[in-house]
A and B are shown apart, each in its own frame.
Chain A
Amino acid sequence: MSQIVIIGAGECGARAAFGLREKGFAGQVTLVGAEEHLPYERPPLSKDAMLHGHEPKLVSEAACYAEAGIQVLTGLSVESIDPAGKSVRLSNGGNLTYDRLLLTTGARPRPFPGFSGASNRIRTLRTHGDAVSIRTQLQPGKHLAVIGGGFIGLELAATARKLGAQVTLIEGLARILTRGVPEPVATVVAERHQAEGVEILCGVKIQDLAETRDNASILLEDGRTIVADLIVVGIGAVPNVELARDAGLAIDNGIAVDQHLRTSATDIYAAGDCCSFPSAHYGGLRMRLEAWRNAQDQGTLAAANLMGGAETMSAVPWFWSDQYDLTLQIAGIADGAAEIVRRDMAEGAFILFHLTADGRLLAASGIGIGNAIARDIRLAEMMIAAGVHPDRLALAAPGTKLKSLLAA
């Protein structure tokens, strides 16, 4: 095997490329990305980068790719894959042949129905260019309307307040962060936003969006109209599966892979936001994660398996969000939990432990100032991976070191 091609130059693709070299792969590694930049970190785009980053925070500097002998083709997209001929066709008319192919095509923002997301006043946030454009519009006196109370929308709302803009956030469901964040944690987030002056409207339905030369507006079903200078739509992401689907690969809420990240096509693997995989810790349940850590973990795992390994995806899902000086972290998936144990810590920080009926730890969700909950969430992640049945009273007692429960 001498040539590995990676389509998609984000966190996952970059981690896979470096992972191949770290594991000693000596053949050709080519990383193809549609954006103009070298792979960069997306998490800062709704946070610090919005405040003061003029250049994206690169996953690795250009010199690191050169040193590792990784060929990076930026500003090029892949038009098609020929799984039988083992080649990919590039947007510049060129072809690349491969022995093994990795798809790290990521996800893109779900557009508001009927809107492309391409307007300057009604738009989404996914790329460095998006962040730069949004930032120029966020100044004192400007009004930002965010559609969607998920991580990206909330982080952007917090950043916009720091920049002095007025913010209204609209969520169609009864509360923010319904996907994967328990209500007590979401309440802390919502209350903090309200204290910072963000207007949060939950349970409101949007009838239509409109845009003029001077502003953009949201028409609500209850008859109200919210007029803003800028509307950012943050209603989730959809996996980039078109390339794989057109090549005949199995799709199931993402490019379907097995526990080794193999797609249904010979010698083609997929990793990161674009793929759905059977989760080892949750009964083989097929899931797709849109998360930075998962992109790293799966990129690294894909590298091992592209080289002939048969490692299985065993990482526990892990998510985080920073808003103001609060950090929220979640390890695991709480679906199916029968019981919640709460551990209260200093300065209002707390962690919820989600347990099955027989006491196995499924997930832990925490929030606090700075990194107050980080160490215990990390230990919870290790406990989930180990399948432990921790003592409930010990979990609830902040004086008990979680490390001591790892072997339970």
Chain B
Amino acid sequence: MSNWVEVCATDEIDEEDVIRFDHEGKTFAVYRSPDDRFFATDGLCTHEKIHLADGLVMDDIIECPKHNGRFNYKTGEAKGAPSAST
């Protein structure tokens, strides 16, 4: 189990919310879904280098705080402009 990295306690993330987690020079976004499961993605939006953890989580979707690019944080799928066409 030595490869496990502690991110936070589960109660540090609200349901349907996200926090930022930085580790070894990389930044991540860690999510707690409405059905109480945990997910992690790259911390930065694909459109511009913006921290997704500042964005809004609604259901399974994280919206970039800058331009509302939308991603499904469970699958990584882009759900709308500006992320989809770039």
Q: Is the CB of A379 within 8 A of B67?
A: no
Summarize B's interface: helix, strand, loop or mixed: loop
A300 to B66, CA, bound (A): 19
Task: Encode contact with B along A360-402: 1 for CB under 8 Å, 0 otherwise.
Answer: 0000000000111011001100000000000000000000010
Q: Is B60 an interface residue (CB 8 A)?
A: no
Q: Is the CB of B54 within 8 A of A296?
A: no
Q: Is the CB of A300 within 8 A of B81?
A: yes
| Least CB separation from A22: chain B residue | B84
A292 to B81, CA, bound (A): 12
Chain B residues with CB under 8 Å of A64's CB are 85
Q: Is B43 an interface residue (CB 8 A)?
A: no
Chain A residues with CB under 8 Å of B67's CB are 292-293
Q: A60-B86, A296-B82 are in contact. Are A375 and B68 (CB under 8 A)?
A: no
Q: Is the CB of A374 within 8 A of B54?
A: yes
Chain B residues with CB under 8 Å of A59's CB are 82, 85-86
Q: Is B50 an interface residue (CB 8 A)?
A: yes
| Least CB separation from A64: chain B residue | B85
Chain A residues with CB under 8 Å of B50's CB are 371
Q: Identify which of residues 107-127 in chain A touch chain B, using a CB-to-CB cut-off of 8 Å.
A: none
Chain A residues with CB under 8 Å of B63's CB are 378
A15 to B84, CA, bound (A): 11
Q: Is the CB of A371 within 8 A of B56?
A: no
Q: Is the CB of A371 within 8 A of B51?
A: yes
Task: Encode contact with B along A300-328: 1 for CB under 8 Å, 0 otherwise.
Answer: 10000000000000000000100000000
Min C-beta distance of B78 to chain A, whole Å: 12
A371 to B82, CA, bound (A): 18
Chain B residues with CB under 8 Å of A292's CB are 67
Q: A370-B54, A374-B55, A379-B56 are in contact. Are A60 and B66 (CB under 8 A)?
A: no
Chain B residues with CB under 8 Å of A375's CB are 54-56, 65
Q: Which of A15, A296, A374, A401 contacts B66 (CB 8 A)?
A: A374
Min C-beta distance of B16 to chain A, whole Å: 8
| Least CB separation from A406: chain B residue | B58
Q: Is A269 an interface residue (CB 8 A)?
A: no
A139 to B78, CA, bound (A): 40
Min C-beta distance of B54 to chain A, whole Å: 4
Q: Is the CB of A296 within 8 A of B51?
A: no
Chain A residues with CB under 8 Å of B54's CB are 370-372, 374-375
| Least CB separation from B86: chain A residue | A60
Min C-beta distance of B41 to chain A, whole Å: 17
| Least CB separation from A375: chain B residue | B56
Q: Identify which of residues 10-62 in chain B touch chain A, using a CB-to-CB cut-off of 8 Å.
A: 14, 16, 50-51, 54-56
Q: Is the CB of A371 within 8 A of B81?
A: no
Q: Is A18 an interface residue (CB 8 A)?
A: yes
Task: Encode contact with B along A1-45: 1 for CB under 8 Å, 0 otherwise.
Answer: 000000000000001001000000000000000000000000000
A293 to B64, CA, bound (A): 13
Chain A residues with CB under 8 Å of B66's CB are 320, 371, 374
Min C-beta distance of B67 to chain A, whole Å: 7
A374 to B66, CA, bound (A): 7
Chain B residues with CB under 8 Å of A374's CB are 54-55, 65-66
Min C-beta distance of B72 to chain A, whole Å: 17
Q: A60-B86, A292-B67, A320-B66 are in contact. List 15 more A-B contacts (CB 8 A).
A: A15-B81, A59-B82, A59-B86, A293-B67, A293-B68, A300-B81, A370-B54, A371-B55, A374-B65, A375-B54, A375-B55, A375-B65, A379-B56, A401-B14, A403-B16
Q: 30 A-B contacts, Cβ less than 8 Å apart?
A: A15-B81, A59-B85, A59-B86, A60-B85, A60-B86, A61-B86, A64-B85, A292-B67, A293-B68, A296-B81, A296-B82, A300-B81, A370-B54, A371-B50, A371-B54, A371-B55, A372-B54, A374-B54, A374-B55, A374-B66, A375-B54, A375-B55, A375-B65, A378-B55, A378-B56, A378-B63, A378-B65, A378-B68, A379-B56, A401-B14
Chain A residues close to B by CB (< 8 Å): 15, 18, 59-61, 64, 292-293, 296, 300, 320, 370-372, 374-375, 378-379, 401, 403
